[in-house]
Amino acid sequence: MPEISVVIGAKNAELTVKDCIESVLASTHSDFEVIVVDDGSTDGTNEIISRFSEKDGRVRVFRHPVTRGLASALNLGIAQSDSKYVARIDADDLVFPERLSSQAKFLDRQSSFAILGSGRLKMNFDGKPKGYVSPNCPTSVIPWQINWGVPFTHPSVMMRRTIFSSEGLRYNEDLQVAQDYELWTKILKNARGANDYRPHIWFRVHPGQATSARKELVEVTSLKVCAQQLADALNYSPDASIVALQAKVFGAEDYSLEPHKTREAVEFRQEVCRQFILRGGENIGSMKAGFGLDLLRLMRFASFRRQTSWLISDRFRRDCLMQGMPLAAWEYGMRRYWRGRSKGQSPSLAGEADK
């Protein structure tokens, strides 16, 4: 039984899957297997991956005769594994040589964590580097972030296989997109997750990922998952309109909205944070820190965006204090705000929220 199973779902990936598998096989870790599921490809994908399995016993290949979707492919691959950990990578991405060893060591040491993500380096379709991207959020605020969106980069994660074998969790095959987000909401109900800021994958960016139809589908599906997560966490179902509004403000940073709409979104997150504080539990610190970081991100725009100018008011500060809200990030933002104003500049806090 190998320690790690690297599961790849591949559909019409003949141009990239060879490099992907070779990058996994070049790992410094010695005890792993590669499970590739061909999801009904009509190009040369199956021939390429089959040649790997013929030459290297660590590579196992399975095939869907017709396309059934990424979730189904991943479920099949995981079901065929018998390892301690399951690592993900997409057929168009690449793995750093030390990734498997690094992530396995962390999970070996930290038994309370069930999932670990990482940072990534972007590249275009031809492999030209396009820069570093940090994880979706710091480890400390993952319990807060899961209520609003994806806290991990899917192809970067390593998970304990017991999530699937003992707890019976699976990717939701009814979802075309955002299957990872829904799975994370289930995992983090009873386990912890972490993010490593070091990049462990090369993430390929290409036009097929950014079609308007796909973006809309991802947005709609993610909002449904978000609404369900909030309903489960708060024991009531928030109105779909406010869930969509807060996503525009905090996710897309849509500052074409009227000021009262931006404020409505902030007050909704403020109320959710207050509910978590009242309930108590081990994640109170995460909820406070997460809401504080939300405020900090908005404060980047406070000096030149009328939609967020009310964030600098004493009334907002008093409201936060009365409800037990965290003010460390707010006060830091205020210092940056006035420092920028004194220099005739608009402050930029991008990248400073995690320091």
The CATH number of 4-210 is 3.90.550.10
What pLDDT, on a 0 to 100 scale, did the predictor assign at position 211?
55
Q: Quick one: which H or E segment has residue 348? A: none
Q: How many CB atoms lie within 10 A of CB 10?
A: 26
Closest CA to 74 of 115, 109, 37: 37
Residue 147 reports pLDDT greater than 90: yes
What pLDDT, on a 0 to 100 scale, did the predictor assign at position 280?
81
Residue 314 reports pLDDT greater than 80: no
Q: Report residue 345's pLDDT band, with 50, 70 and 90 as the boundaries.
A: very low
Highest-confidence segment of 278-282, 326-330, 351-355: 278-282
What is the rounded CA–CA span in Å between residue 17 and residue 6? 13
Summarize pLDDT for 71-81 with one digit per residue, the tens. 999 999 999 99
233 touches 147 (CB < 8 A) = yes
Q: Where are the beta strands (DSSP E) in the chain?
A: 4-10, 32-39, 59-64, 85-88, 94-95, 113-123, 129-133, 158-160, 192-204
Residue 239 reports pLDDT greater than 50: yes
Closest CA to 22 of 64, 51, 62, 42: 51
Mean pLDDT within 252-279? 80
Summarize pLDDT for 99-138 with one digit per residue, the tens. 999 999 999 999 999 999 999 999 998 889 999 999 988 8
Q: Report residue 304's pLDDT band, with 50, 70 and 90 as the boundaries.
A: very low
What pLDDT, on a 0 to 100 scale, did the predictor assign at position 29?
97
Q: How many CB atoms lie within 10 A of CB 12?
A: 16
Q: Report residue 294's pLDDT band, with 50, 70 and 90 as the boundaries.
A: confident
Angle of helix 284-299 relative to helix 259-279, nearest 10 degrees, comes to: 160
What pLDDT, on a 0 to 100 scale, did the predictor assign at position 229?
94
Mean pLDDT within 235-247? 91
- Can you say how many angstroms the Cα of residue 115 is from the centroid of all Cα atoms in its chain? 11
Report DSSP letters for 12-59, one per residue.
Answer: S-TTTHHHHHHHHHT-S-SSEEEEEEEES-SSSHHHHHHHHHHH-TTE
What pLDDT, on a 0 to 100 scale, did the predictor assign at position 343?
46
325 touches 296 (CB < 8 A) = no
Least confident of 75-79, 177-181, 233-237: 233-237
What pLDDT, on a 0 to 100 scale, did the predictor assign at position 252?
64
The residue to which tokens 């590739």 are assigned: 36
What is the rounded CA–CA span in Å between residue 305 and residue 303? 6
Q: Report residue 301's pLDDT band, with 50, 70 and 90 as the boundaries.
A: low
Q: For residue 336, what are the CA distances in angstroms to 177, 234, 301, 313?
A: 39, 34, 11, 15
What is the rounded CA–CA span in Å between residue 249 and residue 228? 19
